[in-house]
Amino acid sequence: MLYAVLCYASEDVVGSWTKEQDDAVMVKLLDVQERYAKANKLGPVARLLPTTAATTLRKVKGESLVIDGPFAETKEQFLGFYTVDVENLDEALQFARELSEVNPSGGSYEIRPISIFSPATVKS
């Protein structure tokens, strides 16, 4: 089963990490990913730039409106996502649990089954 694991946390908090703190967290998160990658269970992964860099396109009365900023103003922001191909929800939750154990941001992970999946054609 393919799942998207969506990461939400306060970007104020994540943004207050020093480069060293951020690097240390990334190393630990990569460790977790590597285990799943070795088992051929890890799909594309993305970390997003801060929401200040976001632009939102909205359809209002049939016209598309371009708005500066993220889709919604929230206390926690959508900061990135993983895709995993795992047995079941339990295993997807286990993956999220391993991520959250090494991530001090205190955020949340939303585990969401994927409906349509087209593997990457863009190289990073």
Partner 1 sequence: MSDLSWISNVISAARPQAMGALLRYFRDLDTAEEAFQDACLRALKNWPQNGPPRDPAAWLIFVGRNSGIDAVRKRSKQTAMPDEDQVSDLEDAETDIAERLDGAHYRDDILRLLFICCHPDLPPTQQIAVALRIVSGLSVKQIARAFLVGESAMEQRITRAKARIADAGVPFETPGAVERSERLAAVMAMVYLVFNEGYSTNSGEAQAREPLCEEAIRLGRLLLRLFQTEPEVMGLLALTLLQHARAPARFDANGEIVLLEDQDRKLWSGKMIEEGLALVDKALRHRKPGPYQVQAAVAALHARAAKAEDTDWQEIDLLYSLLESMQPSPVVTLNRAVAVSKVRGAEEALAMIEPLEDRLSGYFHFFGLKGGLLMKLGRHDEARVAFDRAIALANTAAEAAHIRMHIDRLKAEATQGKSEKAS
Q: How far is the CB of 37 from partner 1 (least distance, A)?
A: 22
DSSP secondary structure of the chain? -EEEEEEEE-HHHHHTS-HHHHHHHHHHHHHHHHHHHHTT-EEEEEEPPPGGG-EEEEEETTEEEEEES-SS--SSEEEEEEEEE-SSHHHHHHHHHHHHHH-TT--EEEEEE-S------S--
Give the contact letters, 32-51, x = binds to partner 1 (CB under 8 A), - = no: -----------------xxx
For position 75 contacting partner 1 by CB under 8 A, the verdict is yes
For position 106 contacting partner 1 by CB under 8 A, the verdict is yes
For position 63 contacting partner 1 by CB under 8 A, the verdict is no
**Choices 36-44, 67-75, 92-100, 111-119; region in contact with partner 1 by CB under 8 A:** 67-75
Residues forming contacts to partner 1 in the complex (CB under 8 A) are: 10, 12-13, 15-18, 21, 24-25, 49-53, 55, 66-69, 75, 104, 106
